[in-house]
Amino acid sequence: EDGYDLWLRYKAVEPQWRQTYAASTRQLVLPQRQSPTLRAAADELRRGIGGLLDIDIGAAEKVTGDGALILGTPQSSPLIGKLALPLGGLAAGGYLIRSEQVDGHRVTVIAANDDIGVLYGAFRFLQRMQTRRSLDDLAIAASPQVERRLLNHWDNLDRSVERGYAGQSIWDWWRLPDYRHPRYTDYARANASIGINGTVLNNVNADADILTPRYIDKAAALAEVFRPYGLRVYLSARFSAPMEIGGLGTADPKDPAVRRWWKDKASEVYAAIPDFGGFLVKANSEGQPGPQDYGRSHADGANMLADALGPHGGVVMWRAFVYAHDNPEDRAKQAYSEFKPLDGQFADNVILQVKNGPIDFQPREPFHPLFGAMPKTPLMMEFQITKEYLGFATHLAYLGPLYEEVLEADTCRIDSPLPRGQIGRTADLGAEGARAAGERQGRRESVGPGPGERAADACTGQATVASVVDGSLHDYRHTGIAGVANIGRDRDWSGSVFNQANWYVFGRLAWNPQDSARAVAEDWLKMTFSPDSAFVQRAADMMMASREAVVDYMTPLGLAHLMATGHHYGPGPWVSELARPEWNPAYYHRADAGGIGFDRTAEGSNAAAQYAPPVAERFASRTAVPEKYLLWFHHLPWDHSMPSGRDLWAELVHRYDRGVAQVEKMRADWAQLEPFVDRQRFVQTGAFLAIQEREARWWRDASIAYFRKVSGRELPEGVRPPAYALEHYRGQSFPRAPGH
Ligand code: BDP
């Protein structure tokens, strides 16, 4: 077990389950009209049922007995056509899985309006067996809530991966297009199994060469492999490509020759890849070229590309991740300040891609204030799956709770057009989906006024970030969610088995942003390791606590961006001399003898005011702000008293200790789970947890050593002093850390 099979292992089920499942998988009735996608669905069912039940389910032309499995669309299968199923309510890619009667026989139908829905349904049917759910009396109707569910690869053409910790790029550019590694197919299968339907192949810090004929051919070969699995190819475009590979003297978006060049380029790409998805663009950000180089706006730049792609049905995903060194404004404010005034100025096929938080994929950030603030511009979410700031590939940090926390945050925006009336809808009908949604509803944490505070109509829990992303709040014409991939050439794809869970949960939440991180973790554990509930419950507890542990030992209480220079790995709160102020951890924590934290209230940068008034009010209040965002929004004296009864200094130390203790617990818990896990994956995970424990201590010790020095305070009583003096931690360097 080297992890290659991901969550699609299809290991034999226990004998009692085998019997009941076999009764529903006696024959496979295929559609009359075949297509590569329908063939992929049938192949997957054969492979899955073969592994799970040790049955070779033969193909049949018609139902001849109980227990048949019928798949297809009304167009491809007359049998399904005749059943008059309620397919009308499904979105593209949606499916039904239903127990039905055909000619007096008990059958199960996997039906959709489009072939890809059938493939998604096939994976879902297999998932039921993988997670030991019943196959009786099925009435599942599922539709994706978000149209574009994309991976963003930060892969370079030399096969290095920016912020990638799972080896080199899986794209073997050199041998493409001639050699198509079988891995590409497994990649597409894995993505289809969780509903991911697009992939941006190359880094946002793009090389213009990706748009040369040679590379377009290579991308086209990948697109061909992916097509049956519903995975469309997109590319990151470099704004100055007309100069670098087009021989023009400018990339000015108003220049007719530049506009012509992009139009021709788009036609060339579509000639090679007819279902090409579009361009992702990082412009005027961290030194990348962009329209502002010519005194034009982001809208001018995006619209030029949109114009070129529009006739072919492509979109432009324009990133809002911008901050400029010559801008004295708080970095957390810059994206909002630049983009909010452009609302309404973007072409129809532009989507603004916004990171989950206002700075940069930190272990914790409040949601980005642009969500809910751009009613006339489709915004899509950008999450990071690769753990750039959360311990790379070795630390165990399940990101489901991070994604969930952001998606369920209430933007409290009432100043948007009337909702479609579908807000809060449950994607996946059927008991399980409803239960998951109910569970989340019960413990939903609002950032608007709490009980007993001033009633605010806006904070009804309806205008969540999820409702922005799924388009329901503003009735967006496009919806999307992107995850920066953690995939590389390592046999286990993601650098560790537990990192696979982050790819998995990203896909599941992209399909249904209302889904529960816990429920998804449990599914993943069952499929990846063992369905035994003694294992699943304990391992899920461990996963659910893991991200908070990282927050605690790296950046507790709303601190952020405290890592050392370049690699984003170890602690570096002392770093204060880098050329750009906002590259320095000291810029973010602002600790001195008087206190710690970034004042983003009206007395400070006033970044809190970028949120809707009820949220802004809460964030700006020292008492009402959720503790987890305390030092994100407030600069407080070290003796500020905390709800726990401790003062701020003691609380900070306590959080660092809590993080380390949690990792120790994870390690001990994992050791208990040995009986449920194969040797190879057990040993690897154990070794990685040992690394994590050592490094959690390192983070804790270095941070406490530093903050003790700047605060001039003594360690609270009973607290273990850092293992070394501050100078020791300052002296560490990691010149060959991966991923940059
Ligand atoms: C930062 C990364 C950098 C990326 C940048 C981005 O450190 O490598 O290029 O984000 O998203 O987190 O553009």
Active-site residue, from 388, 404, 599, 695? 388
Using DSSP's 3-state secondary structure scheme, residue 368 falls into coil
Report the distance separating Cα 48 and Cα 32, nearest Å.
22
Q: How much is the average pLDDT of 132-160?
A: 98
Q: What pLDDT shows up at residue 568?
A: 87
CA 680 to chain centre: 27
Give the pLDDT confidence of 294-321 residue by residue, as tens digits: 999 999 999 999 999 999 999 999 999 9
Which pLDDT band holds residue 23 (cuts at 50, 70, 90)? very high
Q: Check the CA dihedral 481-484-489-490 and report its sign.
A: negative
| Ligand 1 probe mutation, 317, 388, 561, 569, most atoms within 8 A of CB | 388
Closest CA relative to residue 281, chosen from 239, 219, 335, 232:
239
Over residues 722-731, the mean pLDDT reads 97
Cβ(162) to ligand 1 under 6 A? yes
Ligand 1 and 204: CB distance under 6 A: yes
Does ligand 1 lie within 6 Å of residue 565's CB atom? Answer: no
Q: Is the pLDDT of residue 463 over 90?
A: yes
Q: CB-based contacts of 214: which residues, under 8 Å, 6+ apart?
A: none
Is the CB of 160 within 6 Å of ligand 1?
Answer: no
- Do residues 662 and 549 touch, judged by C-beta distance below 8 A? yes
Ligand 1 pocket: which of 322, 360, 484 to mutate (most atoms within 8 A of CB):
360
Please determine, for residue 454, whether its predicted confidence score (pLDDT) is greater than 50.
no
Query: What digits encode the pLDDT tens for the residues 155-175?
Result: 999 999 999 999 999 999 999
Residue nearest to atom 11 of ligand 1 (CA): 321
> Is 388 annotated in the active site?
yes
| 110, pLDDT greater than 80 | yes
pLDDT-derived band at 185 (thresholds 50, 70, 90) equals very high
Cβ neighbours around 25 below 10 Å, total:
21
360 ligand 1 Cβ < 6 A: yes
Mean pLDDT of 575-595: 94
Q: pTM of the predicted model, to two decimals?
A: 0.95
C-alpha span between 197 and 507 (Å, rounded): 9
Please say if the pLDDT value at position 562 is more than 60.
Answer: yes
* Ligand 1 and 323: CB distance under 6 A: no
**Ligand 1 atom with minimal separation from the 204 CA:** 13
Torsion of CA 492, 495, 498, 504, to 10 degrees: -70
Determine if ligand 1 sits within 6 Å of the CB of residue 282. yes
Residue 151: band (very low, low, confident or very high) from pLDDT cuts 50, 70, 90: very high
- SS3 assignment, position 474: coil
pLDDT band at 449 (very low <50, low <70, confident <90, very high): very low
Paired tokens of 452: 């007993």
Helix (H, G, I), strand (E, B) or coil at 582: helix
Distances (CA, A) of 692 to 166, 299, 397: 17, 44, 10
How far away, in angstroms, is 655 Cα from ligand 1 center?
28
For residue 569, give every residue at least 6 positions away whose Cβ sits within 8 Å of its Cβ, in sequence order, or none.
391, 392, 563, 734, 737
Confidence band of 176 (pLDDT split at 50, 70, 90): very high
Pairwise CA distance, residues 6 & 521, whole Å: 14
Residue to mutate (ligand 1; options 161, 288, 321; most atoms within 8 A of CB): 321
pLDDT at 415: 57
Which residues are within 8 A (CB) of 313 and not within 5 positions of it... i.e. 6 or more apart? none
The reply to whether omega before 74 is within 30° of 0 (cis) is no
CB distance 192 to 120 below 8 Å: yes
- With 0-12 / 13-18 / 19 or more C-beta atoms within 10 angstroms meaning exposed / middle / buried, residue 250 is middle
C-beta 664 within 6 A of ligand 1:
no
What is the best residue among 160, 162, 285, 385 to mutate for testing ligand 1's pocket, by most ligand atoms within 8 Å of CB? 162
Task: Give the helix/strand (H/E) hosting 318.
Answer: strand 315-319
HSE-up of residue 437 (Cα within 13 Å, Cβ side):
16
Please pick, among 207, 330, 338, 360, the residue that the annotation labels catalytic: 360
Distance (Å, whole) CA 117 – CA 353: 26
Compute φ and ψ for 313, nearest 5 degrees. 85, 15
Ligand 1 contact, 316 CB (< 6 A)? no
- pLDDT value for 455: 39
The amino acid at residue 163 is: R
What are 529's two structure tokens?
């390791």
How many Cβ atoms from other residues are within 10 Å of residue 690's Cβ? 14
Q: Which atom of ligand 1 is nearest to the CA of 484?
A: 11
Determine the distance separating the centroid of ligand 1 and the alpha carbon of 392, expressed in angstroms: 14
Using alpha carbons, list the distances in angstroms from residue 487 to 495, 653, 685: 8, 35, 18
Say if ligand 1 is within 6 A of residue 227 CB.
Answer: no
Residue at 208: amino acid letter: A
286 is catalytic: yes
DSSP, collapsed to helix, strand or coil, labels residue 428 as strand
Torsions phi, psi for 107 (to 5 deg): -135, 165
Q: Find the mean pLDDT for residues 44-73.
A: 96
Read off the DSSP letter of residue 531: -
What domains are defined for the chain?
15-142 (3.30.379.10), 148-528 (3.20.20.80), 552-598+635-730 (3.90.1330.10)
- Using pLDDT thresholds of 50, 70 and 90, give the confidence band for residue 327: confident
Q: Cα dihedral angle (260, 266, 271, 273), rounded to 10 degrees?
A: 170
H/E stretch holding 195 reads none
- 565 confidence band (pLDDT: 50, 70, 90): confident
* Predicted pLDDT of residue 734: 82
Residue type, 220: A
Percent of the chain with pLDDT over 90: 90
| CA of 397 relative to ligand 1 center, distance in Å | 20
Burial of 644 (0-12, 13-18, 19+ CB in 10 A): exposed
Residues sharing a CB contact under 8 Å with residue 107, sequence separation 6 or more, in sequence order: 29, 63, 66, 67, 68, 69, 70, 99, 100, 101
Angle between helices 182-193 and 213-226 (to 10 degrees): 60
Average pLDDT over residues 575-597: 95
What is residue 441's predicted lDDT score, i.e. its pLDDT?
44
pLDDT, mean over the chain:
94
Residues 411 and 469: their CA atoms lie apart, in Å, by 12
Gap between the Cα atoms of 655 and 665, Å rounded = 15
421 alpha carbon to ligand 1 midpoint, in Å? 37
Q: Is the pLDDT of residue 467 over 90?
A: yes
| Structure confidence at residue 447 (pLDDT) | 53
Beta carbon of 589 within 6 Å of any ligand 1 atom: no
Could you report how far apart the first and last alpha carbons of the chain are, in Å?
Answer: 30
Place of tokens 């049955």: 55
Q: Looking at 412-416, 453-457, 605-609, which range is the least confident one? A: 453-457
Provide the pLDDT for residue 507: 99
Q: How far apart are CA 263 and CA 244, in angstroms?
A: 16
Among residues 660, 610, 613, 655, which one has the least CA distance to residue 630? 655
Q: Ligand 1 atom closest to Cα of 389?
A: 12
- Residue 28's φ and ψ, nearest 5 degrees, are -110, 115
Which residue bears the tokens 């096929």? 349
Beta carbon of 361 within 6 Å of any ligand 1 atom: yes
State mean pLDDT over 563-577.
91
Residue nearest to ligand 1 atom 2, measured at CA: 163
What's the average model confidence in pLDDT over 655-665?
98
- Centroid of ligand 1 to alpha carbon of 323 (angstroms): 12
Summarised one tens digit per residue, pLDDT across range 418-447 is 444 443 333 444 444 444 444 444 444 445
Q: What is the chain's length?
A: 740
Tell me, using a 6 A CB cutoff, whether residue 700 lines ligand 1. no
Q: What b-and-e string marks burial along 151-178, b requiring 16 or more CB atoms within 10 Å of the CB?
A: bbbbbbbebbbbbbbbbbbbbbbeebbe
Mean pLDDT of 678-706: 98
Hunting for tokens 């019943």 — which residue is that? 134
Check if 475 is active-site.
Answer: no
